[in-house]
Amino acid sequence: MEAIEELAVQPCTSSLYLRPFRLSYRQNGTKKVWDFMRTHDSVSILIFNTSRQCFVVVKQFRPAVYMCEVEKHHPQVFENRDKESFSSLENPLPAVVGVTYELCAGIVDKPDLSLEEIACEEVLEECGYRISVADLRRITSYRSGVGVTGSRQTLFYAEVNDQMKTSGGGGQPEEGELIEVVEIPLGESMKFAYDETFPKTMGVIFSFTWFHNNVAPKLLKK
């Protein structure tokens, strides 16, 4: 996962996932301009394995996170961002600075499938558990990247057990995915959520907190 080589930054003139725009408008009589991107909405799934009392999350290399760290140490990499030439890194940072812990998730790019059906596909592909739509509980939806994309993410909760595991997960290599499945024990989950030495998304922190407030009390009663 962390054997990253031949890094180079160059202009992005087209993308299957991002479309940049500039909006001009007038607000309360003041003329304004705002740059934004359109991208896909997404789903994410908080997975709890009842057999071993642990959360199932994914760990993967995120180029955007990595390049945020690179810019701190090598700001010159972005100096030619508007030119045809590109900048390469001869001595890049270790890839681990771009690895994050996240909920199982995926973009909404299949109009013939419901959000729940897409979520089930992602759980199987990324984490190896076969679940049905009936196994999903919708927690909520929210806007992410409100300053840049404004896309909507819908968060689900699913309980699984060892018998529902049909593969090792890991995503789809043919689509360039390289995902590691990680289990976080329930008793260590809140410590993990706020431990900044483990880079993670806000979805992990929020969903773990939601679980402890809404699901954990019922587990204690059992």
SS3 of 143-166: EECCCCCCEEEEEEEEEECHHHEC
pLDDT band (50, 70, 90) for residue 86: low
What are the pLDDT digits (tens) for 160-187?
999 999 988 876 665 656 899 999 999 9
pLDDT band at 102 (very low <50, low <70, confident <90, very high): very high
Query: What is the pLDDT, as a whole number, of residue 169?
Result: 80
Please give the backbone phi and psi of residue 178, each rounded to the nearest 5 degrees, phi first.
-140, 95
**What pLDDT score does 75 carry?**
79
pLDDT at 82 (0 to 100) = 56
Given a cut of 60, whether residue 83 has pLDDT beyond it is no
Tell if the pTM clears 0.75, that is, is over it. yes
The answer as to whether 85 is a domain residue is no
Q: Is 73 helix (H, G, I), strand (E, B) or coil?
A: helix
Enclosing domain of residue 116? 40-78+93-215
For residue 7, the model assigns a pLDDT of 75
DSSP tag of 123: I
* CATH at residue 168: 3.90.79.10
152: CB partners within 8 A, 6+ apart: 41, 42, 141, 142, 143, 144
Higher pLDDT, residue 23 or 85: 23
Which has more pLDDT, 67 or 120? 120
pLDDT value at residue 56:
98
Look over the chain and give the mean of its residue pLDDT values, rounded to a whole number.
90
Instruction: Between 152 and 85, name the one with better pLDDT.
Output: 152
pLDDT-based confidence at 134, cuts 50/70/90?
A: very high
Inside any domain, residue 103: yes
Residue 106 lies in a domain: yes
- CA–CA separation, 211 and 93 (whole Å): 36
Is 33 a domain residue?
A: no
Rounded Cα–Cα distance for residues 204 and 123 (Å): 15
Amino acid symbol at 95: A
> For the chain, what percent of residues have pLDDT higher than 70?
89
Q: Is residue 83 part of a domain?
A: no
Instruction: Examine residue 144 and state whether it is found in any structural domain, yes or no.
Output: yes
Residue 86 within a domain: no
